[in-house]
Structure 1
Amino acid sequence: MRVRTVGVEEEFLLVSPAGRLSSVAPAVLDHAHAVEPATSEPGGHLEKELKREQIETSTHPCEDLRDLADQLRAGRAAADEAAQHAGARIAAVATAPGATTSVVFPEPRAERLGERFGVLAQEQLTCGCHVHVAVADDDEGVLVIDHLRRWAAVLLALTSNSPFWDGVDTGYASFRTQVWGRWPTSGPVAPFGDAATYHRVVADLVASGTILDQGMVYFDARLSARYPTVEVRVADVCLDVEDAVVQAALVRALADTAVRSRDDAPQPRTEQLRVAAWRAARTGMSADLLHPFTGRPARAATVVRTLLEHVSPALERSGDLDRVTARLDVVLAGGTGADAQRAWRRAGLDDAALLARARDRTLA
């Protein structure tokens, strides 16, 4: 049986040795593309993001998680090597610990976005982890999107890695989620039911004149406009490669479960999912989450094990169960990237030292 492919896009901050944001993305990309010109093939090269202070990597589609992990590490190393030629390094933190002044990338679409959305675009400097999972067609993709709805908050909690914003501890495990949630199409959406409905909703959003184009459809999970995949966008960029690998494995397992099970359980309301996402962003894995079937508070470990039980048959089929279980045990025992960042701050690390520690973990 052929295993469904999965790929990962990661966004990173560009920082100076002094721990300040570094607006050098154009120079980083120039160097990277001179060394290895970009191709039309999916994944494997550096790309721009909205701001000059960040960069994005991507993997090729993978069947084996070992290959995925190798590509993620190679992508991080290549991005850091290119950044060093511009006097910067990369850090896998989803928001900066210090001042967040940033500059829109110098290209027409980004500049139009900045003009239309004002301070929202000015303040938008966050880094996510996006998982692409292969689907047979758009109808299968919508089946996967609808199935993923109730689990998105758990996927977010497991990757929470943005406790700081503009020099303060926000009290959130994923403040990136709060910043990102200001975009008009972001977050959970109602179930679509079929591809025709999905495409009609997207067309109506574009026709409203509010968003620039289909690329600004920022649902938690969406049909990719470029590839035959569902793109799941809820996660913070992960401090550790293995957490990104597990995020991809869980997304793939949820996709397989959706296609095989044809689950008829009643769909939760979007209002419930928004509350679940807020709870996950607020406390990550350090306090109760909302149970995906009852909507009531439950221990984070209980909710994670409910997810694991739900997708265990799919993880067994792909050969991923042991790896995913072992890593989830590590997160349950030791916390997420947000917990690590706070521990470093409590130990007395300033912005520069914290980002240097994050850089080391990014490249481990």
Structure 2
Amino acid sequence: MRTVGVEEELLLFDRASGEPRALSAAVLARAARDADDRPDGAEDVGATGSGGAPRNGDSDSDDQCAQDDSFERELHGHQIEFATRPQSDMDSLCAEIVRWRAEAARHAGDVGGSVAALATSPLPASPSVNVGGRFQWMEEQFGLTTQEQLTCGCHVHVSVESDEEGVAVVDRIRPWLAVLVALSSNSPFWQGKDSQYASYRSRVWGRWPMAGPTELFGSAERYQRQVDDMVSSGVLHDRGMVYFDARLSHRYPTVEIRVADVCLDAGTTVAIAALARALVETAAREWRAGTPPLGHSVSLLRLAAWRAARSGLDDALLHPLSMRPVPSAEVVRALLDHVTDALADSGDLTLVREQTARLLETGTGARVQRRLFSRTDSLSAVITECVQRTQAPPT
């Protein structure tokens, strides 16, 4: 069975005021001290050192301070990231996500902060780019785009057997990724205002010139040649800055799916991970059977992604097969139909059916945030409630 690893980015807030606060250095120092205090031989189920979820290459790894390698510094001081180990069982993956969210909250609490699984900050923030060679290069190269990129995503790595299989998967999952944007949507507010989007994070992320959907590659050789050409252009710092919606990891034998918002509820994260694995497995089976990928243009894929970011599950989405607007529930059913066999084979079918039904009924994180704001008329209250929900048992 294919393994799955998850990376989640979390926002940091001041525990007293509820305002966004650049606490990542202090939080990571606390994590590092915990790691130093751990008895010799104690198990570390963190990321890289014990075979953890592959790092995405976006952090300033050349200039890292010593720290518990379960957590990693991100672009801005207002956020941290953790990564799980590769897991084949979704219950184990869920337990690890819950654990690391709790650990992040504990470390933040030690320095007067809190963490929330929010893809953008409801309250205005003045992002502070972290010190480090790679981050400073990005700020100089991309200017305001870098400074405004205070967004938190959820990246899912799914194992593949080879680069050829991985590229075949990347080619075949393209039309379905917008549905993951809708299911994970958790960023309705931006700089103190309602953005009118369910996933405004994905719109901000799309400002990077190297981000978004891709054309069909057809082979690993063509994929790698395009990546080489992009790096050779001088616009990118390195291969880790190829921000395709789905890409081959340049370090590990995985396909990394990068479209989802960080999810408010850990149960939603697990459902996204299970769907990602099922999409990869279904695509690999199609490739082995000789079924060609759908030939949708990048222009249509961008429209589908925009529609998903705008609507979430609260309005029509573009159907992945026809690229025509239909009710969101119908699109979710189409996704489940597409990957039913893979979900059944992995034992995840019931979990995903229950989670998607819950999201359609009670709403994504975006709807939860708007409902909280409607009730309290306070973005601070929204943050306070989301801090609590971040650590709550998954529903």
* TM-score category, normalised to shorter length: over 0.9
Provide the C-alpha distance between the structure 2 equivalents of 1:208 and 1:266, rounded to a whole number of angstroms. Answer: 29
1:295 and 2:293 aligned: no
User: Secondary structure of 2:330's match?
Assistant: helix
Q: More displaced, 224-233 or 159-168?
A: 224-233
Instruction: Note the C-alpha offset of 1:351.
Output: 2.6
2:378 maps to which residue?
Answer: 350
Q: Which letter maps to 1:171?
A: Q
Deviates more, 1:42-51 or 1:328-337: 42-51
Q: How high is the TM-score relative to the length of structure 2?
A: 0.90
Q: Give the counterpart letter for 2:148 in structure 1.
A: E
Conserved? CA contact 1:19–1:351, under 8 Å: no
**Residue in 2 that maps onto 1:75:** 100
Match of 2:39 in 1: none
Aligned residue among 128, 135, 144 for 2:160: 135
- CA shift digits 1:102-124 (9 cap, x unpaired): 10111111111111111111111
Where in structure 2 are the equivalents of 1:124-273 lying within 5 Å?
124-262=149-287, 263-273=291-301
Secondary structure of 1:105's counterpart equals coil
Q: CA RMSD in A?
A: 1.1
Q: Aligned letter for 1:126?
A: T
In structure 2, what is the Cα distance between the partners aligned to 1:63 and 1:266? 28
Deviation per CA, 1:276-320: give whole Å up to 9, x if none: 000000010000000001110011000000000010000010010
Number of residues paired by the alignment? 362
Which of 319, 322, 331 is the equivalent residue of 2:347? Answer: 319
Contact 2:10 2:117 in 1 (8 A): yes
3-state DSSP of counterpart to 1:303 = helix
- State the match for 1:25 in structure 2: 24
Paired amino acid for 2:12: L
User: What is the distance in 2 between the residues matched to 1:349 and 1:266?
Assistant: 45
Q: Would you say 1:40 and 2:62 are equivalent positions? A: no
Identity between Structure 1 and Structure 2 (%): 48
Q: Distance in 2 between matches of 1:122 and 1:276?
A: 27
- Per-residue CA deviation, residues 130-151 of structure 1 (Å, 9 max, x unaligned), is 0000011111111111111000
Question: How far apart, CA to CA, are the structure 2 residues paired with 1:171 and 1:116?
Answer: 30
**After the TM superposition, which residues 331-342 of structure 1 pair with which residues of structure 2 at under 5 Å, given as runs?**
331-342=359-370
Unaligned runs of 5+ in 2: 37-45, 54-68
1:194 to partner: Cα distance: 1.0
Q: Secondary structure at the match of 1:40?
A: helix
| Kept after mapping to 2: 8 A contact 1:100/1:123 | no
For residue 118 of structure 2, the aligned residue among 93, 103, 107 is: 93
Please, what TM-score do these two structures have when normalized by structure 1?
A: 0.97
| Secondary structure, counterpart of 1:347 in structure 2 | helix
**Residues in 2 aligned to 1:193 and 1:147: alpha-carbon distance in whole angstroms:** 10
Please give the alpha-carbon distance, in whole angstroms, between the structure 1 residues aligned to 2:216 and 2:112.
46
Residue 208 of structure 1 deviates from its aligned partner by 0.4
Following the alignment from structure 1 to structure 2, what is the Cα–Cα distance between the partners of residues 264 and 59? 33
Amino acid in the other structure paired with 1:47: E
Residue matched to 2:314: 286
SS at match of 2:366: helix
**CA positional deviation for 1:349:** 4.5
Report the more deviating stretch, 336-345 or 209-218: 209-218
Q: CA deviation at 1:100?
A: 2.2
